[in-house]
Structure 1
Amino acid sequence: MSELPPCPDRELMLELSETRRRFHRTPELSWTEYLTTARLCQELEALGYSIEWGEALYRQPPGNPPDSDTDRAAWQRAERTLGANNRYLSGMRGNRTGLVATLEGNGPGRVFGFRFDIDALPINESLDAGHEPAARGFASEHAGIMHACGHDGHLTIGLGLARRLAARRERWGGRVHLFFQPAEEVAGGGAVFAGLPQLAEVERFLTLHLGILDRYRIVFDATWIAARIYDVVFRGRASHAGNAPQDGRNALLAACQAVQGLYALPRHSGGMSRVNVGRFRSDNAQNVIADEVRLRYEVRGADNAICDFMAAAAEQVLDGAARMNAVTWERSVFAEFSSYPNSRDLAESVAATARALGLPEALLQDSFLVSASEDAGFLIQRVREQGGQATHLILGSPVGGGHHSPTFDFDEELLGWGVLLFESLVLDKP
């Protein structure tokens, strides 16, 4: 396996490591990133960026908010840390988290956009001595919540880039928008941020993800498969299972047949396709025919068309299972991830920049299709449809127990390389 050379700027690395560990200690779930957003706002405004957050950023509260207990706990934690009258926190009620920071350069130039997701996952972080965040004393302080996918690293790269661009403002022209996006893990923030007016100005758009490949590799054109995630409820009629089974309409039987049918769906020859049922619940006595069952399932495809094919086929399965058992069913969208191709010209520019920075050729990879989903696809699509260029990078690294696991971690040297790559793109005037 190729090794990652150390970032040549050791002062930068010390700063980034401290930043990453500070945010790793205080993770927040999707749509409740109150403390994270406020801290980002405070530092970015102090650096000279104009910022938009909270009510100024959102025309209306975002969809898919967390349950009230989760939201209340996150808000109270932020209030205890920042004070109830914190100016950044006060505008975020209604789950209006995340922000956009903008800085003008020295004279005319391109408009760049960089996106960094900021949310964490509902996972208890490992406290084993072999897990470096625990061993070095920066494991999560919030029980049941963990940065288990590298978003603490992503926002650290965003802050590191912001600091460098502010300090070298005389060396670049144009404008930079930094999008610190909430709720990637539930695929809500990307769709919201894709509609922001700042994105309409962007000519060059970049985003990245740490890890993914579980080996050292820099990928310049990473695409992600599309996904549709649905909540389903089957409703029947309850009756005594022994005394009057003929009077019941069995929602549980319909749901079980639906699950079997979903897993039996034919795959698509045009590319990767996936299906999974991840949640199934029926609160019912054993002697009563179930009148309500809820489940959550997902379909995925290598592109939006394949994903749509899987979604339509799944709908037929659900409807057929309901009809066979004379029950009704309803389906609602829980989350969506779009897949959209990157700009080859921009990917090649990033590759040339990586070579100029001295990254070894053995670490560089042109493209990769990730068999997971990422809601930055909505932003990439928006930029490309308005005539701009966009690409998604992977900064590959071994990640301990894997993404979304209690032992997830990554090599912090990648933080420095991510900052230098993005900074060099902005400083390279057209």
Structure 2
Amino acid sequence: MAESIRGRLSDLRRDLHRYPEPGWCEFYTTARLVEELEDLDVDEIAVGAEAYDPDDRMAVPAADELDEWFDRARDRGADPGLLERMAGGNTGVVAVLDRGEGPTVGLRVDIDGLYVEEAADGDHAPTAEGFRSETGETMHACGHDVHMTWGLAALEAIEERGFAGRLVVFFQPAEEVSGGGYPMAESGYAADLDYLLAAHVGLDHPTGEVVAGIERPLAMCHVDATIRGTAAHAGKAPQDGDNAIQALGTAIQNAYGIPRHADGMTRVNVGRVEGGTASNVVAERVEAVAEARGETTELMEYAKDRLRRTFETAAEMHGCAADVEVVSESPRADSDPELVDVVADVARGVDGVDAVVPTADFGASEDATFLMRRVQEAGGLASYLVVGTDHPTSHHTPTFDVDERSLETGVEVLAGSILAVAEDPP
């Protein structure tokens, strides 16, 4: 029999840390998760398109990127049969524990890594202790290796502790691009959930602190814009060109001037631009990647519409045309006070927890809100909790790491909260 997951939390987290894969490319990661799940006494394991409708996916990368990571997973030894079930970027897995009469509880954890090259310095613990990312260009720089470990270990703990009801664990792909939450939320596995828990490590909360439920996550959208103009010789006949770079410059300047809204906070950012060919050619094409966020879903829609209009009118001003595509988005959803109280009560009894914060502002965005919103709209309760960890640098940086004491803490808070709502529903 395989060794208990809770007996090897650090080893499992480090194993997952070594091979981070970007959104919808988590082929090897999904295979590893299935390998662990098959050693547990779960009732159902749904992989990829068995867990959601592939047409509901957002921000799916180009075929060549998918193929590259698929081949890497195969070369690394992922099960060929599992890989075939994930062909085309249908990654992620849902595990179900069905234990008779009782509530249906969902647990969502995310599984993707980031395009961040991990630090190779000797004072970076993953490097010093031999579990630095082996891919070269990606990293678990936001703690999703911890989240997966929590999900597996909490499932094992629930299985062993006499749970009565149905537990659905969503190992969700593509959180970093806000691409996987919607298909998971639209799936049959999210139907009829009475409760949903989601969790994150750190977020500037120290080891020993637990936030029982976040509030005010920002609704957000990712936007791709392509501006097309007309090429011309920049010295001989600049008047014959329609300069896509000039149009983009106008769009960027005006995007940051989108009017504030009286109902609350909004954010816009243009994060990457690429285009043009040479200094003596009037650029005929340029691409930009941007985002809009809002304190509410409605405010995000306001910022998104203004951002779209800004690209389109700036292009028109300079004789160009703009194609603007919303590639992914997520709504706002707040934690429910009744479930927050349950999590807080459980956390106060967990060894190693010395401070429980009932609620805190999230300040960023999360596509777990799709699942939260579906549960809440059906009359259920949801909470997104944070288990603190001391991290030497912020999330999404090359030197991000976690205090592994948070591994056991997260498992006990999650498992304890699931058992609590099953035994004494709020």
Q: Normalised by the shorter chain, which TM-score bucket?
A: over 0.9
**In the aligned structure 1, how far is the partner of 2:5 from the partner of 2:145?**
17
Unaligned 5+ segments in structure 1 are 1-10
Aligned match of 1:181: 172
The structural deviation recorded for 1:358 is 5.2
Residues 196/364 of structure 1: CA separation in 2 closer, same or farther (3 Å cut): same
Aligned match of 2:83: 89
1:325 aligns to 2:318 (yes or no): yes
The structural deviation recorded for 1:63 is 4.2
Show the 5 A alignment for 1:155-234.
155-168=148-161, 171-216=162-207, 217-223=209-215, 224-234=217-227
The structural deviation recorded for 1:66 is 2.4
Q: Over aligned residue pairs, what C-alpha RMSD do you find?
A: 1.9
Contact 2:105 2:196 in 1 (8 A): yes
**In the aligned structure 2, how far is the partner of 1:398 from the partner of 1:267?**
36
Q: 1:125 aligns with which of 118, 129, 142?
A: 118
Q: 1:136 aligns with which of 129, 139, 143?
A: 129
404-413 or 206-215, which deviates more:
206-215
1:57 aligns to 2:51 (yes or no): yes
Contact 2:49 2:90 in 1 (8 A): yes
The structural deviation recorded for 1:426 is 2.7
**In the aligned structure 2, how far is the partner of 1:399 from the partner of 1:357?**
21
Show the 5 A alignment for 1:350-389.
350-357=343-350, 363-389=355-381
Q: 1:423 aligns with which of 403, 412, 415?
A: 415
The structural deviation recorded for 1:161 is 0.7
Q: 1:74 aligns with which of 66, 69, 72?
A: 69
The letter of the residue matching 2:184 is F
The structural deviation recorded for 1:13 is 6.2
Aligned match of 2:268: 275
TM-score, normalization: structure 2?
0.92
1:104 aligns to 2:59 (yes or no): no
Contact 1:225 1:339 in 2 (8 A): yes
Show the 5 A alignment for 1:246-265.
246-265=239-258
Contact 2:351 2:409 in 1 (8 A): no
320-329 or 296-305, which deviates more:
320-329
Aligned match of 2:23: 30
Residues 16/360 of structure 1: CA separation in 2 closer, same or farther (3 Å cut): closer
Query: Helix, strand or coil for the counterpart of 2:231?
Result: coil
The letter of the residue matching 1:97 is T
The structural deviation recorded for 1:319 is 2.8
**In the aligned structure 2, how far is the partner of 1:337 from the partner of 1:399?**
27
Query: Helix, strand or coil for the counterpart of 1:194?
Result: helix
**In the aligned structure 2, how far is the partner of 1:225 from the partner of 1:55?**
29
Q: Deviations over 1:200-223 (max 9, x none)?
A: 121110001111125343111213
343-352 or 60-69, which deviates more:
60-69
The letter of the residue matching 2:70 is W
**In the aligned structure 1, how far is the partner of 2:113 from the partner of 2:263?**
33
Query: Helix, strand or coil for the counterpart of 2:198?
Result: strand
**In the aligned structure 2, how far is the partner of 1:366 from the partner of 1:424?**
16
- Size of the aligned set, in residue pairs, is 415
The structural deviation recorded for 1:14 is 4.9
Aligned match of 1:7: none
1:114 aligns to 2:71 (yes or no): no
**In the aligned structure 2, how far is the partner of 1:377 from the partner of 1:153?**
20
364-373 or 413-422, which deviates more:
364-373
Unaligned 5+ segments in structure 2 are none
1:242 aligns to 2:199 (yes or no): no
The structural deviation recorded for 1:122 is 1.1
The structural deviation recorded for 1:151 is 0.2
1:411 aligns to 2:403 (yes or no): yes
Q: Deviations over 1:386-419 (max 9, x none)?
A: 1110010111223222111110111111111111
The structural deviation recorded for 1:230 is 0.6
Query: Helix, strand or coil for the counterpart of 2:182?
Result: helix
Query: Helix, strand or coil for the counterpart of 1:186?
Result: coil
**In the aligned structure 1, how far is the partner of 2:149 from the partner of 2:103?**
24
Contact 2:58 2:178 in 1 (8 A): no
1:396 aligns to 2:391 (yes or no): no
Q: Deviations over 1:326-348 (max 9, x none)?
A: 22111001221221122110011
Q: 1:296 aligns with which of 284, 289, 292?
A: 289
Query: Helix, strand or coil for the counterpart of 1:64?
Result: coil
The structural deviation recorded for 1:289 is 1.8
The structural deviation recorded for 1:22 is 0.9
**In the aligned structure 2, how far is the partner of 1:63 from the partner of 1:32?**
13
Query: Helix, strand or coil for the counterpart of 1:177?
Result: strand
Contact 1:122 1:144 in 2 (8 A): yes
Contact 2:168 2:189 in 1 (8 A): yes
The letter of the residue matching 2:87 is R
The structural deviation recorded for 1:20 is 0.3
The letter of the residue matching 2:186 is G
Query: Helix, strand or coil for the counterpart of 1:368?
Result: strand
The structural deviation recorded for 1:99 is 0.7
The sequence identity of aligned pairs, in percent, is 38
**In the aligned structure 2, how far is the partner of 1:307 from the partner of 1:63?**
17
Query: Helix, strand or coil for the counterpart of 2:402?
Result: coil
Contact 1:233 1:294 in 2 (8 A): yes
**In the aligned structure 2, how far is the partner of 1:188 from the partner of 1:400?**
29
The letter of the residue matching 1:64 is A
The structural deviation recorded for 1:360 is 5.2
Query: Helix, strand or coil for the counterpart of 1:339?
Result: coil
Aligned match of 1:346: 339
The letter of the residue matching 1:136 is E
**In the aligned structure 2, how far is the partner of 1:312 from the partner of 1:77?**
39
Residues 54/318 of structure 1: CA separation in 2 closer, same or farther (3 Å cut): closer
